[in-house]
Structure 1
Amino acid sequence: MKAVYSAPHLFWVVYYQDVLRSNGIECFIKNEYLSGGAGELPPNECWPRLYVDDQDFERAQQIVQAELDSRPTDAPSWTCPQCGEENEGQFVICWKCGAVNEQDNVGN
């Protein structure tokens, strides 16, 4: 077993667990409940970790990296053409009226 991903927040580790499982890679999380040990133990050693079988490691690493690379970073805000509401760049759908952003600024 090899650790393919680790983060300080369990949310992201579970997210990548779901991504890997949807790609047919079995995996499990260790240190899920170890956050209470931070202080007595080095904090990064308490982070939850996602493990995969050795034979799946390279493929899992590629999938996780591709997903990390696809995350939007500092996308510019956009104004909804339907209602005029200002929306933060990471959102594709207007929070106020539900209109879809026609501009392709997510991830740029």
Structure 2
Amino acid sequence: MRRVYTDSDPLIVGHLAEVLRARGIVCVLRNYYLSGGVGELPPNEVWPELWVEDNDDEAVARRLVDEVLANHDADGPDWTCPGCGERIEGQFAACWRCGHVAPSERGEA
């Protein structure tokens, strides 16, 4: 068994576990519920960890994790909603005010 990722945010680690499982990689989450130990234990020792059961899956799992994280950081530029004129940050695919979907030239919708 090999650890392929750890982070302070359990939502990211959980999402990555689901990505790996969807690709048929058997994985295990460790320390997922240890955040209550912060203060008594070193913070990075209680971070959730993602492990793959089969050592042969480690390289593929790390590549998938890197791809997901790279895509997560690749937010588009801020945009102006054509429906109401509100300025929207690039990570959002729809306007928070009127629900209008981002213009298709952003590669979405």
- State the number of aligned residues: 106
- 2:22 corresponds in structure 1 to 22
Deviation at 1:96, TM superposition (A): 2.4
* Secondary structure at the counterpart of residue 98 of structure 1: coil
Deviation at 1:28, TM superposition (A): 1.2
Structure 1 Cα separation of the partners of residues 38 and 78 of structure 2: 37
Q: TM-score, normalised by structure 1?
A: 0.85
Greater shift in the superposed pair: 14-23 or 74-83: 74-83
Q: Which amino acid in 2 is paired with 1:44?
A: N
**4+ aligned runs moved over 4 Å, structure 1:** none
Q: Which amino acid in 2 is paired with 1:104?
A: R
Greater shift in the superposed pair: 8-17 or 69-78: 69-78
Structure 2 Cα separation of the partners of residues 62 and 89 of structure 1: 25
Deviation at 1:39, TM superposition (A): 2.4
Structure 1 Cα separation of the partners of residues 9 and 69 of structure 2: 15
Deviation at 1:97, TM superposition (A): 2.6
Unaligned 5+ residue runs, structure 2? none
1:1-108 correspondence runs (5 A):
1-53=1-53, 54-73=55-74, 75-102=76-103, 103-104=105-106
Unaligned 5+ residue runs, structure 1? none
Greater shift in the superposed pair: 40-49 or 92-101: 92-101
Greater shift in the superposed pair: 48-57 or 76-85: 76-85
C-alpha RMSD of the superposition: 1.9
Q: Is the 1:6–1:47 contact (alpha carbons within 8 Å) kept by the matching residues of 2?
A: yes
* Secondary structure at the counterpart of residue 50 of structure 1: strand
Q: Is the 1:89–1:105 contact (alpha carbons within 8 Å) kept by the matching residues of 2?
A: no
Q: Percent identity?
A: 46
Structure 2 Cα separation of the partners of residues 30 and 13 of structure 1: 10
Q: TM-score, normalised by structure 2?
A: 0.85
